[in-house]
Amino acid sequence: MTKRILVTGGAGYIGSHAVLALIEQGFEPVILDNFSTGHRYATQGCEVIEADLRDVASLNSALILKQFDGVMHFAAKSIVGDSMQDPLDYFENNVTGSLNLIKAALNADIEHFVFSSTAAVYGEPQFTPITETHATAPINPYGQSKRMIEMMLVEAFRAHDLRSLSFRYFNAAGAAPEAGIGENHKPETHLIPNVLRSCLQDSSSPRLKVFGNDYATRDGTCVRDYIHVRDLADAHVKGMNHLFQNPIADQINLGTEHGATVLEVIKACEQATERSIEYDIVTKREGDPAVLIADNSKARDLLSWTPKASLLDCVSDAWRWHLGTANKR
């Protein structure tokens, strides 16, 4: 029988791509979203439960009635700066909401749980590439909330046999323009969409800013590990399949093991758009590490997963989506 997977936050950026991957690989995804940041156009024609994870009664009712085989959990607030300004809101939404979801899954006899975590659980890196054995010392409430959820899942496995994988990923990028989905945050805080938006003729975006050019890197700008959102989605499906066969609760990095500087991202965007991109160098932001790169060996060994897309693939797909969809929304 076709396995039914509940996808919380399935109308959001990464969640909607996971929904697409589930459909492509023969699953039946059902989206749960409160549409505070998700988009109705991104639901891929799937069944949608409009609900909030903080509403315990409706959450329990939905999970018990629908008889799901697993949960993919993407619903979260995710802007680091906002988490610093309103930490209690982040703990209520991310931690309390996730606790409610875990309890509801157990009440509904769901045994498989894939969680969207973050490399922010590591805090300031002590070494790169970062492995899963790196100490977890998140430096903001967003990262702290994700780490708390990871720990809850470990304890839920120990006490209640809830199998889980928590994916710690680095910088999601790209889009699935053929499916009409891509990165559409308001406000947008990520580099690639902001670079591309600066290229749109009707863009009202301010001039692009590069935060610092005196880091100890090859061109002085920060290095980050950009992974295509379709590769991320594929890893989540592989993770769910792995849980069907293996009783574990574990954490896995998802990245490319290749970093790109801010200036290299801008050059890739110039190549994809065939446009010259202007920018200003401004003061570096406090707390920005010079280099963040993932070690993927655990994902390769455990899931037989490796990313396929390059940085140019990421920006090219994102650009096609921006041209075809984003500037019409």
The 223-224 sheet, strands edge to edge? 260-261, 223-224, 291-292
Which H helix or E strand runs over 47?
Answer: strand 47-50
CA 92, CA 107: separation in Å to the nearest integer?
21
Q: List all residues 6 or more positions away from 248 whose beta carbon is below 8 Å from its beta carbon.
A: 157, 163, 164, 165, 242
Catalytic annotation present for 142: yes
Beta bridge partners of 223: 261, 291
**How crowded is residue 224: how many other Cβ atoms within 10 Å of its Cβ?**
24
* H-state helical runs in the chain: 13-24, 56-66, 80-85, 87-90, 97-107, 141-160, 191-197, 229-245, 262-273, 297-303, 311-324
* CA-angle at 216, arms to 214 and 220, nearest 5°: 40
Nearest residue to 319 via CA among 271, 287, 282: 271
CA 85, CA 129: separation in Å to the nearest integer?
30
Q: Kindly name the residue from 142, 169, 215, 226 that is annotated as catalytic.
A: 142
Preceding peptide of 289 cis, ω within 30°: no
Residue 239 · residue 303 · CB < 8 Å: yes
CA 130, CA 259: separation in Å to the nearest integer?
12
CA 13, CA 42: separation in Å to the nearest integer?
8
DSSP code for 208: E
Q: Tokens representing 258?
A: 């290749």
DSSP code for 124: S
Give the residue numbers marked as catalytic.
142
